[in-house]
Amino acid sequence: MSEGDTPSSPVSGDPAAGAAAGETRVDPAAVEGLLAAVRAHPLGVDYLMNGFLGSVAATFGVHAFVVEEARRRARPGDPGRQGTPASLPGSVVACECWARDGLQSMPVLVSTEHKVEMIERIVDAGFPKLEVTSFSHPKLLPQFADAEEVLKRIRRKPGVSYVVLMPNTRGFDRLEACQKEGRGADEIILMISASERHNELNFRMAHAEAMAEHAAIMKRAHPLGIRVIGCAGTVYGCPVAGDITTAEVAKIVRFYLEEGAQTIMLGDTTGVANPRLVRERVGELMAAFPKAEFIAHFHDTRGSGVANTLAMLELGVRYVDCSVGAIGGQPATGAAKYSAGYTGNTCSEDLIAILSEMGVRTGIDVETLIDAGLRAEAILGQKLRSNVIRCGPVIHGESAPDKEAGVKPA
């Protein structure tokens, strides 16, 4: 069954009437046709099992009754599922967020010298992309009062994309001056929370106001050759509004795509996602926006950052965000905390190490990344949340029995 084909007479009689009377009969040929099409689909049977009825039905042009019957037949034990585990991409593009999303939550101010040092260590480890600063107002977020100076001092490596967060047009005025001096950014991140209540709390703007401002910024960014990452925040849930629907997220995604954003970041702002929800939510968004390039951006509040990232990669996404030592979260502006617990990003050391073990190419050297993580702990004066820093990478060869495995700080 090709995409868009609709099986003839998938259900007998009127579906609604049949359901009420308990007499609906689903055409077996329609079910088998759907199963064959799903198995050939990029998202595979997982999309059938985890996607919402309406999304799957719309994608394959069948009735919801057909989808439900196909799900029943495709549960574990179905021959089509055995021996076909979800596949990971051969390579991913990882963006390191320590110097921006990571530091924005830290109460201690990090010197410009140390920021530049860490940025260069991250680049030396092999990251093709990294967040380097934010153009938030210095009075609101003093951690980034040196944004222009950081851009001026960092040593640029060809092929590496340097990314900044752009909160508003005033911030873009500052970046534009840097661009004219040849020390600007390759990409900017614009963010609107799917939860309007959270957006008002975090950015002090309702959706309409934020969209108008971001559209104006994008119109200025495109002629300068600056790529735009449109970020939808609170994609999987909101700490102040509760559950979020796919429609609320799609509203933000659609806006950014229509205004010309090249990639779409899906942010798990306070770490509420789980792999099943990720497959459902992202599967629906991929079906609704088949040409969009999505970025996996998870926070490790509940220890699920790596698992959620892998779940998104299994759907075919190739872009991931992470942070050395798993730092990050709500900006340290002095405002009341809207989320309890640890709110840092998915840990770079742990994510890159496990991707390496699974044969997924990142171009990043784990040992060099571990060294950067140890240096980050020294700069911040605290132990961070990397497991791989404590134990080291997996040992596959012989090791001296009298030597304790792992990596030790100098």
- C-alpha–C-alpha distance, residues 267 and 191, integer Å: 9
Mean model confidence pLDDT for the chain: 86
pLDDT of residue 327: 94
Last residue of one domain, picked from the residues 47, 65, 85: 85
Residues 118 and 236 in one domain: yes
306 inside domain: yes
- Cβ burial 261-284 (10 Å sphere, 16+ → b, else e): bebbbbbbbbbbbebebbbbbbbb
Domain at 264, CATH number: 3.20.20.70
pLDDT of residue 15: 40
Q: Which domain holds residue 248?
A: 93-391
Last residue of one domain, picked from the residues 62, 85, 108: 85
What is the number of helices (H) and of strands (E) in the chain? 16, 8
State pLDDT tens for residues 187-201: 999 999 999 999 998
Closest to 237 (Cα-Cα) out of 205, 279, 195: 195
State pLDDT tens for residues 226-246: 999 999 999 999 989 999 999
Looking at the structure of the chain, the number of domains it has is: 2
Residues 125 and 238 in one domain: yes
Within 126-206, residue ranges assigned H as helices are 147-153, 169-180, 196-203
76 inside domain: yes
Residues 258 and 295 in one domain: yes
In terms of pLDDT, which residue wins out, 121 or 20?
A: 121
pTM score, two decimals? 0.79
At CA 187, angle to CA 323 and CA 191, rounded to 5?
70
State pLDDT tens for residues 155-164: 999 999 999 9
Residues 300 and 359 in one domain: yes
Residues 142 and 228 in one domain: yes
State pLDDT tens for residues 31-82: 777 777 777 766 666 667 666 666 677 777 777 777 777 776 665 544 443 3
Residues 178 and 222 in one domain: yes
Residues 298 and 193 in one domain: yes
243 inside domain: yes
Could you tell me if 35 and 9 are in contact, meaning their C-beta atoms sit under 8 angstroms apart?
Answer: no
pLDDT of residue 4: 41
pLDDT of residue 30: 79
Percent of the chain beyond pLDDT 70?
Answer: 81
In terms of pLDDT, which residue wins out, 256 or 51?
A: 256
Whether pLDDT at 409 is above 60: no
281 inside domain: yes
402 inside domain: no
Least trusted range by pLDDT, from 30-39, 110-119, 198-207, 288-297: 30-39
Residues 50 and 133 in one domain: no
In terms of pLDDT, which residue wins out, 81 or 136?
A: 136
Which residues on neighbouring strands pair with residue 164, listed in sequence order? 133, 188
Residues 6+ apart with CB under 8 A from 294: 263, 264, 265, 266, 282, 285, 286, 312, 317, 319
Could you tell me if 123 and 130 are in contact, meaning their C-beta atoms sit under 8 angstroms apart?
Answer: yes
State pLDDT tens for residues 320-378: 999 999 999 876 545 556 656 667 999 999 999 999 999 999 999 999 999 999 999 99
- C-alpha–C-alpha distance, residues 164 and 113, integer Å: 18
pLDDT-derived band at 121 (thresholds 50, 70, 90) equals: very high
400 inside domain: no
